[in-house]
């Protein structure tokens, strides 16, 4: 026989088990208790679960080792087993269907009515007029109830408004974190990075090497073999400090037996007048080659020259730096205006240069050039008072001074600065004019008590006189043909 197996968890209870049994479509339902933990089912609940299974047309069995549950199942005649395998193999207990027995026999209502005392004297049995009267009274009662309950009305009043205004003394300080009733608001910091470039001509003069000296040297071999002198060989002068020259070509110097010297073109390694040397000034090699070959310039070297040009001085660099910083500060002040929202108050006295992120001179200080260029990236900061903080401060102060019996029309307050910002020891102070609309508070209960049961015209007159309205209230009665406002307060809705 098919069996629906339901594994219970420790969080299951009577309700959840009943819900899971609803899905069973088999003639048997087997509830399996967990090996560890307890299920929230009392022994008394087993009878309810068994009845629910019978209402589903199924037979219920249990798999549990809980002694209390097994004892209750035995008492109720419910099959119980130690394992699910045993439940499939062993025979289940047979249960006879539960039949509901009537406590009292059904009686004939006609006989009961005849046995009632005085029933023959009721005029309803034989007087049709009385029946019509009772029916009419019932209809009238229904109409009265409908007229009392069904009508409804909407009353909308436009109360006169007036201005509430005051002047606030506001101070902004960076150490303040919250709006205070004393007038202090947080000074919030804005930061932005501005970058720029500027150039200037140097005002100093400097002589720098311009052209390179050239000449020729004679190489004489001191050995019996040919000596090869590669191009780029470094030659040195006997001056102090020595001047370096290099050979332009590769040459082979014949042995000393030939008594021949070889000429090789040379040029100074550095430009400038220092390369113009007298004849015989170049007389040595750089390295070991001088042990094999003798070098000498038979004629002076020439062609080296210097040039005088404009160069930037340290003063030029400092002036350019100050000028560029001033330009970046002006740009930063303008850009801060676009960084804040409408209504926020910038505090110019708090403007500060936070950090120079990048500063590059071209050319560097150790190089010469007629034009000096500076590139900079600088971070600036400026504090501001947020419009939301000013609104909160004005709202608190105005609520504290609100006349009795009045409420604000809306939460928004118009603010206007009426004095310049004054900085004193890191605290910025100024005066603000705040203004908003207020109106008398509306007591819906009072309005209902005035208009209930009145005609629309009478209610209009009473409300205008009571609240001093400038315009008539809007009164809508449903159904439209009904002349009076409802008597029941909950059927009247009041808005403003």
Q: How far apart are CA 295 and CA 219, in angstroms?
A: 5
CB 485 within 8 A of CB 151: yes
Q: How far apart are CA 188 and CA 194, in angstroms?
A: 20
pLDDT tens, 39-54? 888 888 888 888 888 8
Q: How far apart are CA 34 and CA 250, in angstroms?
A: 101
Q: Is the pLDDT of residue 100 over 50?
A: no
pLDDT recorded at residue 126: 53
Torsion angle of C-alpha atoms 340, 345, 350, 354, degrees rounded to 10:
-10
Q: How far apart are CA 150 and CA 34, in angstroms?
A: 59
SS3 of 332, please? Answer: helix
pLDDT tens, 408-434? 987 788 999 888 888 877 789 999 999
Q: Is the pLDDT of residue 95 over 80?
A: no
Q: What is the CA radius of gyration of the chain?
A: 56
pLDDT recorded at residue 384: 93
Q: Is the pLDDT of residue 124 over 60?
A: no
What is the Cα 404 distance to its own chain's centre?
A: 40
pLDDT recorded at residue 143: 74
Residue (of 265, 258, 257, 256) closest to 218 by Cα position? 265
CB 165 within 8 A of CB 434: yes
What pLDDT band is residue 107 in, cutting at 50, 70 and 90? low
DSSP 20-68: HHTT--SSEEEEE--SSS--B--HHHHHHHHHHHHHTT-EEEEE---HH
Q: Is the pLDDT of residue 102 over 50?
A: no
**Cα dihedral sign, 371-376-381-387:** positive
Q: Is the pLDDT of residue 37 over 50?
A: yes
Buried b (16+ CB within 10 A) or exposed e, 89-109: eeebeeeeeeeeeeeeeeeee
List the domains of the chain with CATH numbers: 3-89 (3.30.750.24), 206-308 (2.40.30)
Q: How far apart are CA 132 and CA 381, in angstroms?
A: 94
What pLDDT band is residue 71 in, cutting at 50, 70 and 90? confident
DSSP 144-172: HHHHHHS-EEEEE--PPPEEEEEEEEEEE
Residue 57: which region, alpha, beta or left (left: phi > 0; alpha: psi -120 to 50)? left
Instruction: Provide the token pair at 148.
Output: 């009392």
Q: Is the pLDDT of residue 322 over 70?
A: yes
The H or E element spanning position 458 is helix 456-467
The mean pLDDT of 64-69, rounded to a whole number, is 86
Torsion angle of C-alpha atoms 5, 10, 16, 20, degrees rounded to 10:
-10
**Cα dihedral sign, 286-289-290-296:** negative
CB 21 within 8 A of CB 55: no
């Amino acid at each position: 026989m098919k069996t629906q197996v339901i594994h219970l968890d420790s969080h299951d209870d009577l309700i959840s088990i009943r819900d899971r049994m609803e899905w069973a479509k088999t003639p048997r339902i087997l509830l399996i208790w967990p090996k560890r933990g307890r299920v929230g089912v009392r022994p008394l609940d087993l009878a309810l679960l068994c009845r629910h299974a019978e209402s589903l047309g199924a037979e219920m069995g249990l798999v549990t080792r809980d002694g209390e549950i097994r004892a209750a199942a035995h008492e109720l005649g419910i099959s119980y087993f130690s394992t699910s395998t045993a439940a499939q193999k062993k025979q289940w207990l047979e249960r006879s269907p539960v039949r509901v027995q009537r406590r009292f026999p059904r009686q004939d209502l006609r006989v009961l009515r005849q046995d009632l005392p005085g029933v023959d004297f009721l005029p309803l049995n034989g007087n049709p007029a009385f029946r019509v009267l009772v029916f009419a009274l019932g209809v009238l009662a229904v109409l009265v109830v409908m007229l009392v309950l069904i009508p409804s009305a909407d009353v909308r009043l436009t109360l006169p408004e007036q201005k509430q205004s005051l002047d606030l003394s506001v101070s902004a300080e960076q150490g303040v974190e919250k709006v205070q009733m004393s007038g202090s608001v947080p000074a919030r910091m804005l930061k932005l990075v501005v970058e720029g470039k500027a150039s200037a001509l140097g005002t100093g003069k400097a002589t720098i090497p311009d052209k390179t000296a050239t000449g020729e040297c004679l190489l004489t071999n001191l050995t019996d073999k040919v000596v090869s002198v590669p191009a780029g060989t470094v030659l040195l002068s006997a001056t102090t400090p020595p001047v370096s020259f290099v050979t332009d070509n590769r040459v082979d110097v014949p042995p000393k037996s030939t008594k021949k010297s070889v000429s090789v073109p040379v040029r100074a390694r550095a430009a400038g007048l220092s390369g113009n040397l007298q004849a015989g000034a170049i007389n040595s090699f750089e390295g070991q080659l001088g042990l094999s070959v003798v070098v000498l310039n038979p004629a002076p070297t020439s062609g080296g020259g210097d040039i005088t040009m404009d160069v930037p001085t340290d003063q030029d660099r400092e002036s350019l730096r100050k000028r560029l910083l001033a330009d970046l500060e002006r740009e930063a002040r303008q850009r801060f205006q676009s960084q804040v929202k409408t209504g926020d108050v910038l505090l110019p006295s708090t403007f500060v240069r936070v950090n120079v992120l990048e500063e590059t001179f071209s050319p560097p200080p150790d190089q010469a050039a007629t034009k000096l260029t500076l590139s900079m990236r600088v971070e600036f900061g400026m504090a501001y008072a947020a419009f939301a903080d000013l609104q909160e401060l004005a709202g608190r102060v105005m609520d504290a001074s609100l006349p009795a019996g009045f409420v604000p029309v809306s939460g928004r307050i118009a603010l206007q600065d009426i004095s310049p910002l004054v900085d004193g020891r890191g605290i910025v102070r100024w005066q603000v004019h705040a203004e908003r609309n207020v109106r008398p508070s509306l007591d819906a209960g009072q309005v209902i008590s005035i208009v209930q049961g009145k005609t629309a015209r009478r209610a209009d007159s009473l409300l205008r006189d009571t609240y001093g309205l400038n315009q008539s209230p809007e009164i809508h009665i449903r159904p439209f043909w009904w002349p009076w406002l409802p008597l029941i307060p909950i059927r009247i809705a009041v808005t403003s």
